[in-house]
Amino acid sequence: MLFNSLDFAIFLPIVFVLYWFVTQRNLKIQNILILVSSYVFYGWWDYRFLALIVFSTLVDYSIGLQLAKSEKKSKRKLLLWTSILVNIGFLGFFKYYNFFVDNFVNAFSFFGNEIQPNTLNIILPVGISFYTFQTLSYTIDIYKRKLKPTNDFVAFGAFVSFFPQLVAGPIERATNLLPQFYKKRSFKYDNAVDGLRQILWGLFKKIVIADNCAYFVNTIFDNYADYGASTLFLGAVFFAFQIYGDFSGYSDIAIGTSRLFGFNLKQNFAFPYFSRDIAEFWRRWHISLSTWFRDYVYIPLGGSRGSIWNKIRNVFIIFLVSGFWHGANWTFIVWGGLNALYFLPLLIVKRNRVNTNVVAEFKIFPNLKESFGMLFTFIITVIAWIFFRADSLNHATQYISRLVDVSLFNIPEIRPTFLFVLIFIFILIEWAGRRQLYAIQTLWFRFPRIIRLFIYYLIAMTIFLYGGKEQEFIYFQF
């Protein structure tokens, strides 16, 4: 079920009414309603994969209880590795089976040996990468004694399958989200209004910015040989706004929807395109995944401690694994490796933690140094996004090779004026609201209520009038 679909527009009010007006007095019934609603939401796409998420829930729920009972180190390690192997095994099979088979065939073909292995027509379950990491963090935190296991299967099941963030995050930790299922929740008008405001902004990002960009991105990337360098660069820039509007828009809708039901999810994007270096970018982009890899992979490897070679190794591992998490294609691995190369100089000279505050924090405009840093970071990010968007390494390298041409300074062949205006307005609003959790959280609070309502109405009308052709969320494929 898509957030930007009629199905969800009907589904959400029904669940909301049942949640607050029918089941409000009983916390257990409320949690059951969330669990059932989440399974309906997930099963709407393909009910067959409900068994997979139920099985994953049962495995980690049972292992969590066993970890609490066991003090023997060897048994605790066995339980932990059982959870890891089961979860990663399912993820690996559904997401990477054909990738490994195809590369195995290619390796043999390179040496002149032709083999005909059996490949499978595997459908990738929506959200498997997200809920797998969510359940894994639960087991790992119990193993590290950072968290006590729950005896409430309904609460745990609702935590794993919580429908607002089930299929594309944010990837929530049990330490933050699970305890919220134990506490009685009461309706708070201000929270609900704030949630609706964030949903509105998320829909604007997705439907107006991302979906309109998608049309031109698809046209340019699918026919890159027909265009000059300036148009190709514009296509890459449009993709940068598409993926940001698409993914951060999803996160805004997920977080806003959660607030309607009395839950608080973590911020997942913090205006990453205003970053002054690539290290700051990765602290602001897909925060829930970046911190997951930091806490469960990077730090256990040694992090930024030890020799310079250990630091380089750890950085490459974390970025390559992150790239591979995104998809079974060498393009994602190269994208991760390229970002590692971007990041390394900052780590080596110990400048990776310089820009931790909000850019131009107490000013309207950034200074020259900040402006150059943002522009440079955005450009190298755009170049890396080409690998992320391309269908293959050959597609990406040919696309980039055509950028190195004097036509880069020509006027692009494709010039959608309405989209330029929309993106310009979008950037202005994001810049004005960069100190908030999302751009329009308190942006117009100085204005009278009637003016604010008119602005929100204007945003809603823009969604209806200028919304692009409905596109599935990009991160559904991950």
Q: State the DSSP string of 146-183.
A: SSPPPS-HHHHHHHHH-GGGTTT-----HHHHGGGGTS
The values of phi and psi at residue 15, to 5°, are -65, -40
The neighbour count for residue 298, using CB atoms within 10 Å, is: 21
Residue 466 host element (H or E): helix 449-466
- Buried-exposed string 72-95: b where 16+ CB fall within 10 A, e elsewhere: eeeebeebbebbeebbeebbeebb
Q: How far apart are the first and last CA of the chain?
A: 16
**Residues 269, 284, 315, CA angle at the centre, nearest 5°?**
130
Q: Which residues are catalytic?
A: 326
**Residues 20, 24, 29, CA angle at the centre, nearest 5°?**
115
The neighbour count for residue 120, using CB atoms within 10 Å, is: 10
What torsion, rounded to 10 degrees, do the Cα atoms 174, 179, 182, 185 define?
Answer: -120
Give the separation between CA 428 and CA 425, rounded to whole angstroms: 5
Q: State the DSSP string of 22-53.
A: TSTT-HHHHHHHHHHHHHHHHHHHHGGGHHHH
Residues ≥6 apart with Cβ < 8 Å to 324: 332, 333, 336
The values of phi and psi at residue 456, to 5°, are -65, -35
* Contact present, 416 and 234 (Cβ < 8 Å): no
